[in-house]
Structure 1
Amino acid sequence: MVSKSEMAEFLRKEFPQTKCTVESVGNRSCVLSHEIGFEELRPGGTVSGPVLMAVADVALYVAILGEIGLVALAVTTSLNINFLRKPSSEKA
């Protein structure tokens, strides 16, 4: 199993453009955080869909790599999201 620090270092090296931070990884899951600034918002002050999709994609990637090991070329083949409510830009 890949540790949180190993995963964070892997993302820093392979995906320096990501704004996601690994909070935990293991047991087929992970917890990520993503700082929300002005550039991540859409009109009305909600987090933009592309930001939410990027975080979901990175979260699945991290959870899977946490189980199979660090494989840089593993890719997402399909991703769909249904918005059930307006995403807030405030910290939970």
Structure 2
Amino acid sequence: MTATKEEVIAFMKSEFPQSKCVVEAVSNDGATVSHHVGQDELRPGGTVSGPVLMSVADVALYVAILGKIGIVPLAVTTSLNINFLRKP
């Protein structure tokens, strides 16, 4: 059972109203989310902070999973790791 973009947007708005991520696209094969980065989310030199990047990655994976299996609120990330090889 898949979830539509509209269903995912409604679910995210209801369950995660604090999220700054915007669901751009959802399909059976993946998802696209965006996040406007404000001044308070930057490190010195204009680098986006690691926690913001991890949050966006986590939301993108969650939205992609919901698009594939439908709205399952307790589908959770069990592990997420990132290695920054250069300044984002």
* Superposed pair shares fold, TM > 0.5: yes
Q: If the TM-score is normalised by the length of the shorter chain, which range does it land in?
A: over 0.9
Q: Deviations over 1:18-53 (max 9, x none)?
A: 100000011321010001101111111110000000
Determine if the alignment matches structure 1 residue 50 to structure 2 residue 29. Answer: no
**Correspondence list, 1:8-87, <5 A:** 8-87=9-88
The alpha-carbon deviation at position 57 of structure 1 amounts to 0.4
Question: How big is the alpha-carbon RMSD for the aligned residues of Structure 1 and Structure 2?
Answer: 0.9
TM-score (ref. length: structure 2): 0.93
TM-score (ref. length: structure 1): 0.89
What is the DSSP-based 3-state SS (H/G/I as helix, E as strand, rest coil) of the residue aligned with 2:66? helix
Percent identity of paired positions between Structure 1 and Structure 2? 69
The alpha-carbon deviation at position 84 of structure 1 amounts to 2.5
Point out where structure 2 has 5 or more consecutive residues left out of the alignment: none
The alpha-carbon deviation at position 74 of structure 1 amounts to 1.5
Q: Distance in 2 between matches of 1:59 and 1:66?
A: 10
Point out where structure 1 has 5 or more consecutive residues left out of the alignment: 88-92
- The alignment covers a number of residue pairs equal to 87
